[in-house]
Amino acid sequence: MPRFSPAERWVHRTTALLLGMCVFSAGCLYLPALAELVGRRALVVTIHEWTGILTPVPALLGLVSRAFRADLTRINRFGPQDGVWLRAALRRDHRRQERPAGKFNAGQKLYASYIAGAVLVMAGTGLLMWFTGLAPLVWRTSATFVHDWLALAVVAVLIGHIGKAFADPEARRGMRTGRVERAWAAREHPLWRPDEDHGDGREDGRGDGHGDGPGDGHADAEHQIGGHERRVR
């Protein structure tokens, strides 16, 4: 069954490439062993600067895709199922029935939001460090502090993201080919309604007020979320 459109996969791959180059070039600038291995520091600095500035561009270009915009809407909306998922994660409860999710689970939503915000902050602080005439010294010093420590946090989160991806071959297949098995979708994302992938991105089980009825699955989703919440309590 389809999960991601070609445009979404292009955005993911291009962003991953740019972010990976940015992180690697940063390592070459900060780690002596890598710096000696690679050399050509001026070139590495240029690569780091431009990959950092270009990292948000694929997502901006992806906005022309309706499917990408719909998934952004999903990621930016937290519903009752996400609270249930997060509480189960905090309890380290790995039972599938205790982690209801739509097309994206709460962890994926938090990760995407964090990376989006971090990229913007890194770009802003990086510009202050790149163009030294933009701000006074105290601002540039603060920007360097934020840039360096946020970079370490981003690397840690990226390692976790990559680890999760390697632990789930079907999720990787979905990002690689755009398709996943229905059994996987039903198990990992039981509240996902693929027939609404080109709609408004709602997946909170409440419906959109148009044509909701006992046969459209919204009531069943609401009942399922309510059952999870009662078990948690």
Place of tokens 């990226």: 158
Q: Domains in the chain, ordered, with CATH?
A: 6-232 (1.20.950.20)
Q: Read off the pLDDT of residues 53-72 as tens digits, 9 standing for 90 and up.
A: 999 999 999 999 999 999 99
Give the pLDDT of residue 225.
53
- Within 8 A by CB and 6+ apart from 35, the residues are 28, 29, 41, 44
* Cα–Cα distance list, 8 to 14, 93, 154, 186 (Å): 10, 31, 22, 21
Cα separation, 23 vs 29, whole angstroms: 10
pLDDT tens column, 87-130:
999 988 888 888 899 999 999 999 999 999 999 999 999 999 98
In this prediction the pTM is 0.80
Let me know if 40 is exposed, middle or buried by CB neighbors in 10 A (0-12, 13-18, 19+): exposed
- Which burial class, exposed, middle or buried, applies to 60 when counting CB atoms under 10 A from its CB (0-12, 13-18, 19+)? exposed
Tokens of 211: 């044509």
